[in-house]
Amino acid sequence: MKRIYVASSWRNSLQAQVVAALREASHEVYDFRNPAPGEHGFAWSEVDPDWRKWTPPKFTVNLYRGHPAVVRGYGFDKAALEKCDTCVCVLPCGRSAHLEAGYAIGKGKLVIFLLQPEGFEPELMYLLGTDCVCSIEELLGLLEMCEGKG
């Protein structure tokens, strides 16, 4: 059994399927959309309903000022990243998921990129990770082969 951090995007409809499939395969899985019982995932709208209009200076102030939603969301995600032995980056995704995958790579964890035809772009630096797969079935097979590693 792996402890898996699923890095993806709120906009990625495959994320929930990946979480469910990994849990069905008896892995311990962190879901950023539901990070703990009774907790919902972080949203910038909790900090400011007009967050989409922020300038870089406004973002910086809101990121570092200690808003309870920021502290809570970051705390859940960072703790799960530290605890995991495997990160699955479900594409397409954005900057945060790629930062999470990069952090996991730097910590020496298994990192698997689950590629999708939608929005696909070749990326050389995915070689930093463990492997790339193109389906949930392939992901599950690779995790089974990697059991005991990482």
Q: Is residue 132 part of a domain?
A: yes
Provide CB contacts within 8 A for 136, sequence distance 6+.
14, 17, 18, 21, 114
Task: Determine contact, residues 133/113, Cβ cutoff 8 Å.
Answer: yes
Domain with 133 in it: 3-38+80-145
Q: Is residue 14 part of a domain?
A: yes
| Residue 149: predicted pLDDT | 55
Specify the DSSP class assigned to residue 41.
P
The CA distance from 87 to 143, in Å, is 11
In this prediction the pTM is 0.93
Q: Is residue 112 part of a domain?
A: yes
| Residue 52: predicted pLDDT | 96
Q: Is residue 27 part of a domain?
A: yes
Q: Is residue 58 part of a domain?
A: no
| Residue 147: predicted pLDDT | 79
* pLDDT, mean of each 10-residue run, the chain (150 residues): 95 94 97 92 94 96 93 96 97 95 97 92 95 97 80
Count of structural domains within the chain:
1
| Residue 119: predicted pLDDT | 82
CATH number at residue 11: 3.40.50.280
**Of 8, 5, 39, which is closest to residue 22 (Cα–Cα)?**
5
How far, CA to CA in Å, does 25 sit from each of 18, 19, 53, 119, 139?
A: 11, 10, 42, 28, 11
| Residue 148: predicted pLDDT | 63
Which tokens is 27 given? 């892995």
Provide CB contacts within 8 A for 71, sequence distance 6+.
none
